[in-house]
Structure 1
Amino acid sequence: MTASPAQEYGVLMETLDDIGERTDASLRCIEHEPEVWESRMQVTCECLSQSGTLDNLERRLLEDELGETAYARFPVQTRSALTVAHTLMDRGLFREAELRSKMGEIRRRMSED
């Protein structure tokens, strides 16, 4: 199970500008009260696993692989979301242009609030 390079997914790499680069190299950074989006992401991952779309063990292995290579500059908490998006694009469930469009839509909606 080898993940494809992140360079193929510029839309994911561009999010680093939004969230900021990882500053804590230790795993202490994961010892915190989860943000709402993190809890929702875990529920989404459970649903993907239950439906057979993306097994939790496979996702965790991919998080380890991609998290320390392609997405090493990203905060640890964001790696699940990046890995899931990356893997679902690899599987052809949606394309980068579709994700970019949806992210733009959400950014616009959030800026209106």
Structure 2
Amino acid sequence: MNSKNCNQRIIISEYLGENQNDNGFDAPNWDDTYHPCWSAFKQVSGKEFISAKANNSENIVTFIVRYCNKTKVLLVPGATKQYKVIYKNKDYNILFCSDYNNQHEWIDIKAEVII
């Protein structure tokens, strides 16, 4: 992996819990300043399908970011549910994270756009 490929700005956002909104419903609270960083972006797969008479789509992407103290927490089992990625004003659920080539230099984040 070459750092010259990291030309896309993303934000890794941390889940802080839930707060009640003005209507009395619980709403998730995210820290959208947890870790802004540069990444390499790659489209992995995309498909549209019909399920239960509704059009659905699935858009899987990969973000490759530098390994650091704030990103290595993504490698802990179950931690992917506590974080999300914000890219071009869209939220992405993190599906899977791995240590790129097990060298502790890069983290590969597989994510799906939230529609």
TM-score range, shorter chain: under 0.3
Higher relative contact order (CA 8 A, sep 6+): 1
Larger strand percent: 2
Larger helix percent: 1
Q: TM-score, normalised by structure 1?
A: 0.24
Q: TM-score, normalised by structure 2?
A: 0.24
